Structure 1
Amino acid sequence: MKFVVQRVNEASVKVDGNVIGQIGKGFLVLIGVADSDTKEIADKMVKKLLGLRIFDDENDKINLSLSDVGGELLLISQFTLYANCKKGYRPSFIEAGAPDMAKEMYEYIIEKCKEQFHVETGEFGADMKVSLQNDGPFTIILDSAEIC
């Protein structure tokens, strides 16, 4: 499982020209799921995500968490995080989770995050247009191969 976490001042996602998810200060998280991922892995990844202390405190030190700043989450499914570009120039996506399983894991992650935060989402499998104002910019990649 991979999360690309972007600290944002605002972010939104459109499908067919309509805004379906929008947040202010918080994290835009692109979520990639592999076939080998489990709910136990998702739990560890969500715990790490929600505990990240990457907002500035009063001394301009990155020391505050999402809850400390009253932040929100915009969660977007993105199978292309598992693109394999080792051979040729056209990526292979065989490492990405099968759609049914990946959707189930994505929905599980959404529900876990909703237990603590306001969550907006994209639409699984849709052609989405994502807009954001990255704060910093500040982007972190969480990979279950390194965390779990």
Structure 2
Amino acid sequence: MNPSASVEIDAPLATVWRIILATEEYGAWNPFVVRVETPQPPRVGNPIVLHVVWSDGRRSRSPERISALDPPATAADGATTARLSYVYRGWPSRLGLIRGTRHQRLTQRPDGPTTYTTVEEFSGPLVRLAGPGRVADGFRRHAEALRAHAERV
């Protein structure tokens, strides 16, 4: 199972992209990822530690490494896209038990809303212990909060 979430945001892609990259501000609007530790500005190869709050109130810390940072680019068809990805680097990953890569993608067609999509690509023999269902719930809460925040800005 690859947990995912997607929302349409009535805001320009550039605005949503700035919010996603302003990791030091996540605590002000994000109920799932309440704190992020990473050197600024974010760059491919940077470590990134996510402090998450699960729906039951429990907290955990997830060490990651930024693996892709594709700034907004417009294709020939007029669609603009951007992507931020990071790879899980916790001890289960180093032991080959749980591997995960989270992708956050933005797409905006001319004169349309921005679509935010996030997915965690899990693999490994102990993926079920990573709690794909609770990750999906966190992604939904993150996506909805991103929409609300971007539409207010």
**Structure 2-normalised TM-score?**
0.28
TM-score, normalised to structure 1, is 0.29
